[in-house]
Amino acid sequence: MKNLSKVLAIILTTGVTASAIASVPAPKNPKAKHASVATRPSNATVNVTISTITENNFLKVSALNETTSPVTISIFDNAGNIVYTEVVKAEEINRNYNLSSLPKDTYTIFVSSDNFSTYKEFVIK
């Protein structure tokens, strides 16, 4: 996770565009989350909103899945270990995650489907 900002900095300084990144296939393995840093367009879309973590350590994920593909939601710790994962097969996804049992650290939530992936880092204080 610590290398993520370095990867983004390299992308910004080398002039790689979001469309160039978007041509990379979506990762099939949730541990390969750094293979993509942008969403990929398609005819059917997955619109995702990941809220900011609350002071009570709740994180909300909402998605409208216009595809027929299931959506995988995974949470990784700073070392890259999966601390939670689930596969959701629904058009409308509304999940509230209670993360109060996790230790203080930086985490990444990764939301992906067959032709889409996005992520967001958050800190539990």
**What are 1-28's pLDDT values in tens digits?**
444 443 333 333 333 333 333 333 333 4
Q: Mean of the per-residue pLDDT values for the chain? A: 73
The set of residues, in sequence order, having a beta carbon less than 8 Å from that of 35 and lying 6+ positions away, is: 24, 27
Q: What is the mean pLDDT of residues 88-116?
A: 92
Q: In angstroms, rounded to a whole number, what is the distance separating the alpha carbons of residues 44 and 34?
A: 23
The domain ranges of the chain are: 4-124
**Per-residue confidence (pLDDT) for residue 38, from 0 to 100:** 40
**Per-residue confidence (pLDDT) for residue 121, from 0 to 100:** 94
Q: Residue with structure tokens 């993509």?
A: 36
Question: Which comes out higher in pLDDT, residue 46 or 60?
Answer: 60
**Per-residue confidence (pLDDT) for residue 114, from 0 to 100:** 86
Q: What is the mean pLDDT of residues 100-109?
A: 94
CA-to-CA separations, 42 to 55, 77, 106, 109, 125, in angstroms, rounded = 36, 30, 31, 22, 37
| pTM check: above 0.85 | no
Contact 65, 89 (CB under 8 A): no
Q: What is the mean pLDDT of residues 65-86?
A: 93
What is the domain class of 4-124 according to CATH? mainly beta
Q: In angstroms, rounded to a whole number, what is the distance separating the alpha carbons of residues 125 and 110?
A: 20
**Per-residue confidence (pLDDT) for residue 83, from 0 to 100:** 95
